[in-house]
Each structure stands twice: as structure tokens, then as C-alpha cells.
Amino acid sequence: GAVVSQHPSRVICKSGTSVKIECRSLDFQATTMFWYRQFPKKSLMLMATSNEGSKATYEQGVEKDKFLINHASLTLSTLTVTSAHPEDSSFYICSARGVGEKLFFGSGTQLSVL
Amino acid sequence: QKEVEQNSGPLSVPEGAIASLNCTYSDRGSQSFFWYRQYSGKSPELIMFIYSNGDKEDGRFTAQLNKASQYVSLLIRDSQPSDSATYLCAVKGGTGFQKLVFGTGTRLLVSP
């Protein structure tokens, strides 16, 4: 089945630093990837839709200058949290659309900003 | 009104029983409906998807869709302790073409 690899799985950083999260589709090409954020005991909230070769589409309320998304190839999308602050601490999950409607998720990245 | 609503639970059932998980959605134009299972600290994994009204069965799982009532459910037969997880309902289509909107999830606890 389709596999989406996400790294790192956990990162702890100091306030003000930037963190990059990678999302790779290992056995299929993904023209579209999605980035979600999930706070404890809350649902997944879509942050942005990443399209290969073009600018990402951000959901309302998500700062595009803070959450930089790059989808440089059909198998790789990256999310960079710039100047991270404690309120950015969350579980970040990427997903990629496989064959048909199926959406496959990465393993997630737990970000803790001190 | 939330776009996708689920009872947060927890829903507690004994091992071997049928667990019934429910979800309602607000966008009448929604086309695709998904059930994901999420263990604590892990990312969601797809269990089932359904597009048409009626029932769709896959092993111990049955998804039921009623577009007129804007209602989708997931039945888990012969529940096992390993089924204990949060079940997320997700809806796609309608006004949010590519976007998959998730409910807050229902926590299921299956006791031995």
C-alpha cells in the first residue's frame, strides 16, 4: 500500500528557532499534499494544501509567512515553522492523496517549543 | 454549526459487542465520507470510505451512509480491545472541493 514518510517524529526546540518537517511519498507520486495540525484531544485541522510546483493554499487564519510550505517535487513537501513559539507546540501531520480518494498520512511530528 | 460532528465519548463496549459510531455533517453537497482510526500519539489510518447511500461492509466494519439525513456511521462487530482508539469521521466534497474536513473524533474503549 501507499506509504508516506514524515520526519522528524519528534522535535524539541527553543523559542525563536525554525523547524523543518519533511513529508515524502515513498511509492507513489503526489501532486497534492496536505498539512494538518492537531492539538491534544482535538481534531485534525487543515493548515494548507501543498501543490507541486506552485504556491501552497493556506486555510483561513494560518499565517503563510510563519508556516512555509515547499513542494519541490512529486514526492516531497516540507513545512517550516519559522520563529517557533510555545503556542506552536502541536502534532503536525502531513498527508498525500493516493489512488482515487484515499488519503495516506505520515506518522506525524510532535513539536514542542520551550 | 460544526461542519462535521461526532460525540467525543468515550463509548465503552464489552469485548465481542457491536460498537456504533455516529457522525453528522452540514454540507449537503458532500460526496465522499471516510472513517479513520487514530491511536494516541499516532497519525490516522484509513478504515473505510463510502460514497453511496446504504451500507458498505469490510470484514468486521460496516459503514452506513444516509445523505438525506446527512448522517454516516461506522459499526464494528465483535469489538476487540485492540479496537480501542479514537475514530475520526471525515467528509470531502461539496463546497470544499479538495478539502477533507474531520470531526473531533469519538473515543472507543473496548473492555476485555
C-alpha cell at position B31: 460526496
Torsion of CA B110, B32, B45, A71, to 10 degrees: -160
Which pLDDT score, from 0 to 100, does residue B34 have? 93
Q: What is the average per-residue pLDDT within B35-58?
A: 92
Lowest mean pLDDT, pick from B12-21, B44-53, B72-81:
B44-53
Q: How much of chain A, in percent, has pLDDT values that exceed 70?
A: 95
In the predicted model, is pLDDT for residue A70 greater than 60? yes
Which pLDDT score, from 0 to 100, does residue B79 have? 97
Find residue A49's DSSP bridge partners.
Answer: A34, A57
Which pLDDT score, from 0 to 100, does residue A99 have? 66
Chain-centroid distance, C-alpha A66: 13
Neighbours of A42 (CB within 10 A): 14
User: Among B48, B95, B50, B93, which residue's Cα sits nearest to residue B71?
Assistant: B50
Q: Does A34 touch chain B (CB under 8 A)?
A: yes
Looking at every residue in chain A, the average pLDDT score rounds to 90
Q: Which residues of A touch B23 (CB under 8 A)?
A: none
Which pLDDT score, from 0 to 100, does residue A78 have? 95
Count of CB pairs separated by less than 8 Å, A with B: 43
In the predicted model, is pLDDT for residue A21 greater than 90? yes
Neighbours of B10 (CB within 10 A): 12
- Given pLDDT bands bounded at 50, 70 and 90, which one contains residue A101? low
Which pLDDT score, from 0 to 100, does residue A30 have? 84
Which pLDDT score, from 0 to 100, does residue B67 have? 94
Chain-centroid distance, C-alpha A2: 17
B111 Cα to chain A: minimum distance (Å): 21
Find residue A91's DSSP bridge partners.
Answer: A38, A110
Which pLDDT score, from 0 to 100, does residue B106 have? 96
Residue window 52-111, chain B: list those with CB within 8 Å of chain A.
Answer: 88, 92, 98-105
Q: Which amino acid is at A110?
A: Q
In the predicted model, is pLDDT for residue A19 greater than 60? yes
Give the separation between CA B81 and CA B111, rounded to whole angstroms: 6
